[in-house]
Amino acid sequence: MGNGTSRLYSALAKTLNSSAASQHREYLESPDPEHLEPIDPKELLEECRAVLHSRPPRFQRDFVDLKTDCPSSHPPIRVMQWNILAQALGEGKDNFAQCPVEALKWEERKCLILEEILAYQPDILCLQEVDHYFDTFQPLLSRLGYRGTFFPKPWSPCLDVEHNNGPDGCALFFLQNRFKLVHSTNIRLTAMALKTNQVAIVQTLECKESSQQLCVAVTHLKARSGWEQFRSAQGCDLLRNLQNLTQGAKIPLIVCGDFNAEPTEDVYKNFASSSLNLSSAYKLLSPDGQSEPPYTSWKIRTSGEYRHTLDYIWYSKHSLSVRAALDLLTEEQIGASRLPSFNYPSDHLSLVCDFSFNNEPDGLS
């Protein structure tokens, strides 16, 4: 193993102790990456695959081209949405009945997560259930050129698990060679006038190629059946905030999240009918362009099998176009034991879309 690869392996293997990781602030941005040694993403990907050599190969997923007319003068903006499964919850609370314990070991599972991110190389990365921000994602992704922000849940269920790594929360990363940060807001969502345990990060970015602004939000709404109206109230609170932060929908918007809600729920309908003119990107993969995928999460717990569509990438349909979307795993690929597995690190599938602005300024090509 060469010196460069050895340094990469050290970066990948290095973890902070749990006490250091749990000393978090509610709002933390990455340090200036100029003070960190850059990592070549291809070499890090190779190193991840070396760690995973005994596991089955990664599933093959293909991008579906959705818009071939009106070519853009700028590269598309690739956005990834993913609930990566908090390590403490996967090992201590989620009760995955068919997932081998060995498949959940962090030292290998983190490499599967990184492999997925590195394979698609998003410009903007929106994550939920992040409980290894400080010791894994922030230090490594910073060295890949990302700027990151983390906002933990106030009462994270991870803290109930013995030997936890701190609270889980939402994280938003963007590539600094493509964007500069204009404004950032952390939101603790309310419902029925009460502050809740769910959060959102909203950032306004400026594209360096075109000087156009883009507002990006990541959130994770309340889970479980019986909490539909609570989720709806959280969604309304987020929409009110987004209305202000986009200056009344003047700034194009992308909202990524695990909404914990099927398309039949009110929170979905409220987003689809809001004055922000939002549309769900993954509907475009359906034959009629109007139907969500049959699932974005599929797991077997001791309480039963659960197959649901819960994850979405919403976008301003008048300002943005979806140029391509990553197809979902088939039932055959997922397998009878469902998710997570030795092949796939989370019980939720990643969603990845390429966007372009519909109206690009003249003279900036």
Residue 35 CB contacts under 8 Å (≥ 6 apart), including other chains: none
Asked whether the beta carbons of 113 and 56 are under 8 A apart, the reply is no
Single-letter residue type at 217: A
Helices (H), 32-173: 41-51, 87-92, 106-120, 138-143
Q: What DSSP element (H or E) covers 191?
A: strand 179-191
Measured CA to CA, the distance from residue 346 to residue 96 in angstroms comes to 11
Domain ranges of the chain: 2-357
Q: How many angstroms separate the CA atoms of 96 and 347, rounded?
A: 9
Which two three-digit tokens encode residue 10? Answer: 């050290």
From first to last of its 365 residues, what are the pLDDT tens digits of the chain? 445 544 555 566 654 343 434 444 433 444 554 567 899 999 999 999 999 999 998 889 999 999 767 677 889 999 999 999 999 999 987 889 899 999 999 999 999 999 999 999 999 999 999 999 999 999 999 999 999 999 999 999 999 999 999 999 999 999 999 999 999 999 999 999 999 999 999 999 999 999 999 999 999 999 999 999 999 999 999 999 999 999 999 999 999 999 999 999 999 999 999 999 999 999 999 999 999 999 999 999 989 999 999 999 999 999 999 999 999 999 999 999 999 999 999 999 999 999 999 975 433 33
Q: Which two tokens stand for residue 346?
A: 């989370």
DSSP label at residue 62? -
**Sign of CA pseudo-dihedral 222, 25, 19, 105:** positive
Q: At which residue do the structure tokens 């599929």 appear?
A: 298
pLDDT of 93 reads: 77
- Judge whether 79 and 256 are in contact, CB under 8 Å: yes
Give pLDDT, residue 73.
80
CA dihedral 274, 275, 277, 283 (to 10 degrees): 10
340 preceded by a cis bond (ω within 30 of 0) = yes
Confidence at residue 37, expressed as pLDDT on a 0 to 100 scale: 87
The class that CATH gives domain 2-357 is alpha beta
First to last CA, the chain: 44
- Rounded CA separation 230/253 (Å): 24
* Cα separation, 313 vs 242, whole angstroms: 15
Helix (H, G, I), strand (E, B), or coil: what is residue 317?
Answer: coil
- 140: CB partners within 8 A, 6+ apart: 11, 12, 39, 44, 114
- Residue 232 CA to residue 241 CA, distance in Å, equals 14
Q: What gap in Å lies between CA 146 and CA 199, rounded to an integer?
A: 21
Give CA–CA dist 136/277, Å, rounded. 36
Residue 357 pairs in a beta bridge with: 320
